[in-house]
């Protein structure tokens, strides 16, 4: 197998990058070759520079060195540019092309035509995207992959360990901790956390690499019951383990990849979860401790949290287990074989 991706990195600071990088690294460990195009990571077989349409010689010179079908993981998902690259890869290599779309965008006639013409196998990360591509590109080979969490790393902890982690990170011991991990943007509905009273203490973990909404950040910083963390956390699982409840308020489409990885990480730690009904979250098993809100109302966020915290015998880890990265790697290896 040959993996081609333009979004593999060592610093996993964004959803698409995390999916592409985690799957690629594990597939390389299983024997695949990785060609990193216009990006770089420590585990790539080779890193190259290539034009945006994949019309140059460099990529195809490298592809001649390796046997096997191609798995293409584009950062842009199903854009016109991706469709052009898919067709070029198909025509110039005469190999079977598999493409993983971590999001879905509306497509014009040309984009649909080029993707279908490439004859690629399409893999999606949500049942909604699976249905979308089946409807938009009739006759295409499409599968849905369940993936997004390392269930051996993100594990539940007992109350003693939770207390020690709160002391380590300076979180209050006398309040329940509300956690969110993601990007600081209005479009991701982070404003919702302004509606949580000091009954709870919110910990918001934001990437300092991606663009932030400074006005919103200033509003959040004024709240004494909110802690903002922007430094890279090599042991991010400890922040989940230190918290009580995870809140995912994203409403608008295409403001997160199809399967919100942070929600799966919270579930794997057997946390209580309040989440909007965003893409793959709609398909999660209805387990105790998961509260999915069809129409997320920011004014009711504390009511949602109160209701979720009242639930005992949390079972959210059972949701995460089937989304383990290892399951996806096995699926991909078996499919390409």
The answer to the question of residue 151 being in a domain is: no
Residues 102 and 28 in one domain: yes
The structure's pTM equals 0.94
The answer to the question of residue 240 being in a domain is: yes
Residues 44 and 114 in one domain: yes
Residues 187 and 232 in one domain: yes
Residues 229 and 190 in one domain: yes
CB neighbour class for 45 (10 Å; exposed up to 12, middle 13-18, buried from 19): middle
Strand partners, 273: 246, 290
The answer to the question of residue 333 being in a domain is: no
Reading the chain (337 residues) residue by residue, the pLDDT tens digits are: 999 999 999 887 788 999 999 999 999 999 999 999 999 999 999 999 999 999 999 999 999 999 999 999 999 999 999 999 999 999 999 999 999 999 999 999 999 999 999 999 999 999 999 999 999 998 999 999 999 999 999 999 999 999 999 999 999 999 999 999 999 988 999 999 999 999 999 999 998 777 788 999 999 999 999 999 998 888 999 999 999 999 999 999 889 999 999 999 999 999 999 999 999 999 999 999 999 999 999 999 999 999 999 998 999 999 999 999 999 999 999 988 7
CA-CA distance, 298 to 123, in Å (whole number)?
A: 34
Residues 30 and 108 in one domain: yes
Residues 276 and 193 in one domain: yes
CA-CA distance, 303 to 312, in Å (whole number)?
A: 17
The CATH number for 67's domain is 3.40.50
**What total of structural domains would you count in the chain?**
2
Among the candidates 145, 173, 196, a domain finishes at: 145
The answer to the question of residue 196 being in a domain is: yes
Contacts of 242 (CB under 8 A, 6+ apart): 162, 165, 166, 168, 169, 171, 177, 203
The pLDDT mean for the chain works out to 95
CA-CA distance, 137 to 143, in Å (whole number)?
A: 13
For residue 229, what are the CA distances in angstroms to 162, 222, 305?
18, 14, 21
Instruction: Using DSSP, state whether 5 is helix, strand or coil.
Output: strand
The answer to the question of residue 306 being in a domain is: yes
Strand order, beta sheet including 200-206: 226-229, 200-206, 176-182, 245-248, 272-276, 290-293
Residues 83 and 168 in one domain: no
Residues 136 and 169 in one domain: no
Task: Tell how far CA 313 is from the center of its chain.
Answer: 27
The closest of 182, 207, 330 to 261, measured between CA atoms, is 182
Residues 104 and 184 in one domain: no
Residues 133 and 163 in one domain: no
The CATH number for 247's domain is 3.40.50.2000
Cα-based angle 65, 67, 71 (whole degrees, multiple of 5)? 105
The answer to the question of residue 330 being in a domain is: no
The answer to the question of residue 326 being in a domain is: no
Residues 139 and 183 in one domain: no
Residues 133 and 227 in one domain: no
The answer to the question of residue 329 being in a domain is: no
Domain limits for position 113 = 2-145
């Amino acid at each position: 197998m040959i993996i081609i991706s333009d979004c593999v990195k060592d610093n996993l600071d964004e959803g698409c990058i995390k999916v592409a990088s985690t799957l690629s690294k594990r597939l390389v460990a299983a024997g695949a070759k990785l060609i990193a195009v216009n990006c770089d990571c420590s585990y790539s077989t080779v890193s190259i520079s290539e034009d945006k349409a994949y019309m140059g010689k460099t990529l195809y010179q490298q592809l001649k060195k390796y046997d096997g079908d191609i798995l293409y993981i584009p950062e842009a998902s199903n854009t016109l540019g991706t469709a052009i690259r898919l067709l070029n890869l198909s025509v110039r290599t005469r190999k079977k092309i598999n493409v993983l779309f971590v999001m879905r965008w509306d497509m014009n006639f040309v984009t649909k035509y080029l993707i279908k013409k490439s004859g690629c196998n399409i893999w999606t990360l949500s049942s909604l995207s699976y249905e979308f591509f089946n409807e938009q590109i009739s006759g295409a080979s499409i599968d849905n992959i369940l993936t997004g969490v390392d269930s051996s790393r993100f594990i539940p902890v007992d109350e003693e360990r939770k207390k020690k982690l709160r002391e380590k990170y300076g979180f209050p011991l006398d309040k329940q901790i509300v956690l969110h991990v993601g990007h600081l943007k209005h479009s991701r509905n982070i404003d919702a956390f302004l509606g949580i009273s000091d009954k709870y203490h919110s910990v918001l973990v934001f990437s300092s690499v991606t663009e932030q909404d400074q006005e919103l950040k200033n509003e959040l910083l004024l709240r004494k019951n909110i802690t903002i963390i922007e430094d890279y956390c090599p042991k991010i699982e400890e922040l989940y383990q230190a918290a009580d409840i995870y809140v995912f308020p994203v409403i608008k489409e295409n403001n997160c990849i199809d399967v919100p990885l942070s929600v799966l990480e919270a579930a794997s730690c057997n946390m209580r979860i309040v989440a909007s009904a965003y893409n793959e979250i709609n398909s999660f098993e209805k387990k105790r401790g998961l509260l999915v809100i069809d129409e997320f109302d920011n004014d009711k966020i504390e009511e949602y949290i109160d209701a979720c915290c009242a639930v005992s015998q949390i079972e959210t880890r059972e949701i995460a287990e089937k989304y383990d990265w290892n399951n996806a790697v096995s699926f991909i290896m078996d499919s390409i074989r």
